[in-house]
Structure 1
């Protein structure tokens, strides 16, 4: 059945009068909206201590991951085997991804806005000091500085890997992507250690709220970017991409550099300036 569908799609592409891809009907958008809904409800129930909240959260996460796998598999088939991703389609996808990154930039701007609003002119409710009295900020020259080195090194590795991929140096490409994933995982591990050793929580005044909101949002993006790069790594190993057609690799690298840049602002503003 799938083979016949593929043949029909190839025939359709042959006689198509335009270079744009009209997406076929798919069950994945509506399904992922429901799985995300389950995951959100489960997260709220879990945070408020309700029974089976964690079960619903884990179920929603599992179902969301499964739907994403099947959805991305269909996109991979459309682009790699059916030839639907023409130059115009790729340009549209890249523009859409850039707009997505811009929306992420504004999400971080909102968090930084909240941080500077409270830190530049501390209110009387927190004693007129920043950090507020009783809060012991983290040492920026311990784990934060190490994580800065790890994340910037990962950005250098992924850039080198991209150039090696275009140059046809397969071994260097695989090694560079692998090192990027390893450094990203180590970064996340140290972030977890930092959180567990911290003397304040997200409930400790506006300092704790803005600290965990900003670094936590960035940490979530690091995890997403790590998955992004890891999938690209697997596709390179399996010869699923070429240097003429590797839009997924390019968007993953763009996303990772965005994560790097945001971390530099976080380190300077939240860790270094905010602790003095």
Structure 2
């Protein structure tokens, strides 16, 4: 379980820390803290417990108009302010020394207009383009520019840049662009989000979540692990992964995902990005033990 992490989002919850975190866990991923006192509590607790901090960008809330910077925007002003937003927050994080800083990629996402994206969460319309509005060549050019810049920032500030794959289109899964960039800028790693992958697999007939996992697991620094039930409706988002949740009922086949990840990557961190309050203490322990056994036996 030394690769396991929990999330602290919005604030530092002592209740969650006591219940969810175990002494041998790797660390905490923190995001969108509202108060400076919570940030200090995070730092102090990490120092006392001698565990690592990862940041799901940004650590502080309310410093830009949206959570996620839009570094691929076609709007030059939005693109410029997105880079500036990242730079200011990275500077703020220097004293905290996070192990990694995670950003959503692509952002804005590029969508296949033939898919119904109603159930994908967007803060506003600037968070996505359709393929017909955004060429592959522009996507390649702006992605390369961002990778080069982020690679430099990570090395300069001693953190691992991590890109969490957001909604994906054929520019990612039908080309070798992302693999080429990850090989060229090898300091940059990715995050596979199991809940997101499962949801897109159910929404998009051209998308295979297991294929994407097989292709990219080797580049993963972190896995965001949670489940969601997708049938004629979407239920139980960010539900803990439990062995009794059946894929036949619409749940993600977590066992298959983790067996693929085990084959491809022995060092990536497992972040339980779930709502642990939705289950009992005994079920939470079962969740941890099940995942640990799948990865280590």
Higher-RCO chain (CA-CA 8 Å, sequence separation at least 6): 1
Same fold (TM over 0.5): no
> Under a length normalisation based on structure 1, what TM-score does the superposition of the two structures give?
0.23
Larger proportion of strand: 2
> Under a length normalisation based on structure 2, what TM-score does the superposition of the two structures give?
0.22
Larger-gyration structure (1/2): 1
Larger proportion of helix: 1
